[in-house]
Amino acid sequence: MLNKDGLNETERLRRGSMDARHNADHYEDPETVALYADFRAEGLFDREARAIAEFFPESGRILDLGCGAGRTTAPLREKGYDVTAIDVSAPMARETARATDADCLTADASRLPFRENVFDAALFSSKGLDELQPPNARYTALREIRRVLRPGGRFAFSTHNVLRQLVPFPPTPGALADRVRFWLANVREGHVGTEYKHDILDKEEGVVYFGDPLSEYRQLRASGFRVLEFLGKHGLPSAYLGPEYFVVAEA
């Protein structure tokens, strides 16, 4: 049976597997690991820092998902949290273990190797949740994160915003041209009508999840979360029309 993109289920899953392998290979490349190690000095981004300060407990056990080379792990440890950092890339996890004193594991966010109700909060930075494929792996990860959080635990994450690709903000000629290139590429590659699209505007990324606030709200509710806030950079428009949106939810 064909889906709305003219692909049968076998072909859709094959493409998802290929895209996932491309993303995984990228993060296991030594040059990429070295680049992310250099990037560690950036520390927490503004909305990450705000989410931690405003919504996370003052102390407790934190799960740092998609830790990369430790950009978020190091400052979480400096704040005194008991941090467990995981990444699907073994070289990335080893780099974080080398650079911090956090517990570091190679693990898949859709198959977390932890008991229920063991973490007080979780952070999934740099839109890492969007790289899980096929689509059901992302949904499974949301349920897994809810499972390992204690009741009332907080979950903060960033995710690609498809609205940005529909409504350029601000609507400059360059932004409009980028949107045209984005959609033409995704029409050619057969991603239009699916939740996953080729992020041609970010050379580091391949095919990743693009959502919208309403879809994210529904997915989180279905996974057992209560949405607390969409954090913007500069007021309400940026919370919903920026290139990514940043969500804080409660288990």
Q: What average pLDDT does range 162-179 have in this prediction?
A: 87
Per-residue pLDDT band at 133 (split at 50, 70, 90): confident
User: What pLDDT digit, counting tens, does each position of 87-112 carry?
Assistant: 999 999 999 999 999 999 999 999 99
pTM: 0.87
Which class in CATH covers the domain with range 9-250? alpha beta
Distance (Å, whole) CA 91 – CA 108: 14
pLDDT of residue 14: 37
Q: Where are the domains of the chain?
A: 9-250
pLDDT at 202 exceeding the cut of 70: yes
pLDDT at 234 exceeding the cut of 80: no
Instruction: State the maximum Cα–Cα separation within the chain, in Å, rounded to a whole number.
Output: 53
pLDDT of residue 11: 38
Comparing 32-36, 51-55, 91-95, 149-153, the range with the smallest average pLDDT is 32-36
pLDDT at 3 exceeding the cut of 70: no
Q: What is the mean pLDDT of the chain?
A: 88
- Tokens at 197, concatenated: 């699209």
CA torsion, ordered 232, 235, 236, 242, to nearest 10 deg: -50
pLDDT of residue 200: 87
Q: When comparing pLDDT for 239 and 35, which is higher?
A: 35
pLDDT at 75 exceeding the cut of 80: yes
Distances (CA, A) of 150 to 112, 116, 126, 140, 182: 15, 8, 24, 18, 40
Q: What average pLDDT does range 26-54 have in this prediction?
A: 93
pLDDT of residue 66: 96
pLDDT of residue 183: 95
pLDDT at 16 exceeding the cut of 60: no
Distance (Å, whole) CA 204 – CA 13: 23
> Which residue type, as a one-letter code, is found at position 61?
R
